[in-house]
């Protein structure tokens, strides 16, 4: 079965992603950025991190690539409206990138590898287009590290169901802890790793995003037809998320894993 991008492109999902910046989500990679670099952001989505990358490497060129044309349009429009001129946004797939060998000084990829069925193949492609001595930086969540309180049964079920959905779509919600191994397996060296937590604020943003995606799985993933669940459970999980998000003591910290590695 082919991989499927679990979050989808609803306005809820996009608003959720579009709050990210280089400072909030890509800080681990900042020490490796130099003015004049030729940098690729792979799976750039709406481009909010990409624009921060572009500013950090100016007058170098930031290329953003995403397999979804709607994301490329949003990123290109934001770049234009914010007067960031050293960018080039293109539609493309990480498994087959439209660049010659040894094209980039650095490659960044945020929140993509958890959605890939063939991460080693994808990294091989990144390695091909990286110059010798170039650096790759990846950051992905690990859903095994979520800290969530209070415990509400329907909220627990919702998180379990979302992770399971991710796996049915041939993604890996636990890829964060594997990033180091993946880089090593693909021949990268001098690998460094970190981990950090993101505390979701406001809780309604994560709750709305997950709740909507879970409910949409009836149509998007034919979850009821396939006998994975029923409409009542989907509604209960979605309502459970909303109830949880309004709790005065609600807390959700997401674990993120970060790696860099070099091509010799
Ligand atoms: C979770 S979003 C992350 C967007 C952005 N990097 C961020 O963190 O805000 C993942 C993005 O990867 C893109 N994507 C998924 N599979 C892809 C593939 N095989 N090749 C290129 N892009 C892909 C999706 O379209 C989506 O825009």
Q: What is the CATH number of the domain that holds 198?
A: 3.40.50.150
Closest C-alpha to ligand 1, atom 4: 45
Residue 172 placed within a domain: yes
Residue 43 placed within a domain: yes
User: Using a 6 Å cutoff on CB, does residue 72 contact ligand 1?
Assistant: no
Residue 170 placed within a domain: yes
Closest C-alpha to ligand 1, atom 1: 111
User: Using a 6 Å cutoff on CB, does residue 5 contact ligand 1?
Assistant: yes
Region 126-148: mean pLDDT is 98
Coil, strand or helix at 112 = coil
Residue 5 placed within a domain: no
What is the distance between the terminal CA atoms of the chain, rounded to a whole angstrom? 34
pLDDT of residue 2: 80
pLDDT of residue 245: 97
Please enumerate in sequence order all residues whose Cβ is within 8 A of that of 101, keeping only pairs 6 or more positions apart, or say none.
128, 129
Residue 109 has pLDDT above 90, yes or no: yes
User: Using a 6 Å cutoff on CB, does residue 20 contact ligand 1?
Assistant: yes
pLDDT of residue 116: 98
pLDDT of residue 83: 98
Residue 3 placed within a domain: no
Q: What digits encode the pLDDT tens for the residues 215-225?
A: 999 999 999 99
Region 233-262: mean pLDDT is 97
User: Using a 6 Å cutoff on CB, does residue 163 contact ligand 1?
Assistant: no
Domain that holds residue 69: 11-262
User: In the beta sheet, which residues pair with residue 257?
Assistant: 140, 195
Contact in structure between 137 and 53 (CB atoms under 8 Å)? no
Residue 51 placed within a domain: yes
- Count of structural domains, the chain: 1
Query: C-alpha distances in angstroms, 160 versus 36, 46, 81, 144, 224?
Result: 44, 27, 40, 10, 17
Residue 4 placed within a domain: no
Residue 227 has pLDDT above 70, yes or no: yes
User: Using a 6 Å cutoff on CB, does residue 112 contact ligand 1?
Assistant: yes
pLDDT of residue 86: 98
Residue 47 placed within a domain: yes
Region 23-32: mean pLDDT is 98
Helix (H) or strand (E) holding 109: strand 104-110
User: Using a 6 Å cutoff on CB, does residue 3 contact ligand 1?
Assistant: no
Kindly indicate the confidence band of residue 93, based on its pLDDT and cuts at 50, 70 and 90: very high
Give the span between the Cα atoms of 180 and 226, in whole angstroms: 35
Q: What digits encode the pLDDT tens for the residues 38-56?
A: 999 999 999 999 999 999 9
Is the peptide bond prior to 202 cis by the omega test (within 30 degrees of 0)?
A: yes
User: Using a 6 Å cutoff on CB, does residue 198 contact ligand 1?
Assistant: no
Residue 1 has pLDDT above 70, yes or no: no
What ligand 1 atom has the least distance to the C-alpha of 93? 20
Q: What digits encode the pLDDT tens for the residues 145-156?
A: 999 999 999 999
Give the span between the Cα atoms of 7 and 132, in whole angstroms: 34
pLDDT of residue 200: 96
Q: What digits encode the pLDDT tens for the residues 187-221?
A: 999 999 999 999 999 999 999 999 999 999 999 99
pLDDT of residue 60: 98
Distance 249 CA to ligand 1 centre (A): 32
């Amino acid at each position: 079965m082919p991989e499927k991008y679990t979050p989808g492109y609803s306005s809820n999902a996009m608003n959720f992603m579009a709050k990210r910046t280089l400072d909030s989500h890509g800080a681990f990679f900042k020490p490796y950025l130099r003015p004049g670099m030729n940098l690729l952001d792979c799976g750039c989505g709406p481009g909010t991190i990409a624009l921060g990358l572009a500013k950090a490497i100016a007058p170098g060129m930031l290329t953003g690539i995403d397999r979804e044309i709607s994301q490329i349009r949003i990123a290109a429009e934001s770049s234009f409206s914010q007067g960031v001129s050293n960018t080039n946004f293109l539609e493309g797939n990480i498994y087959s990138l439209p660049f010659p060998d040894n094209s980039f000084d650095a490659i960044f990829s945020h929140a993509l590898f958890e959605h890939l069925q063939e991460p080693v193949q994808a990294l091989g492609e990144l390695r091909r287009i990286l110059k010798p001595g170039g650096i790759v930086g990846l950051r992905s969540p690990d859903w095994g590290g979520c800290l969530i309180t209070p415990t509400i049964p329907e909220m627990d079920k919702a998180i379990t169901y979302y992770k399971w959905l991710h796996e049915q779509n041939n993604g890996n919600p636990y890829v964060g802890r594997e990033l180091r191994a993946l880089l090593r397996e693909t021949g990268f060296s001098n690998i460094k790793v970190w981990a950090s937590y993101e505390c979701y604020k406001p809780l309604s943003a994560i709750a709305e995003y997950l709740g909507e995606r879970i409910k949409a799985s009836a149509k998007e993933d034919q979850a009821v037809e396939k006998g994975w669940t029923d409409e009542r459970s989907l509604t209960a999980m979605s309502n459970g998320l909303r109830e949880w998000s309004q709790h005065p003591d609600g807390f959700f910290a997401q674990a993120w894993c970060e790696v860099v590695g070099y091509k010799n």
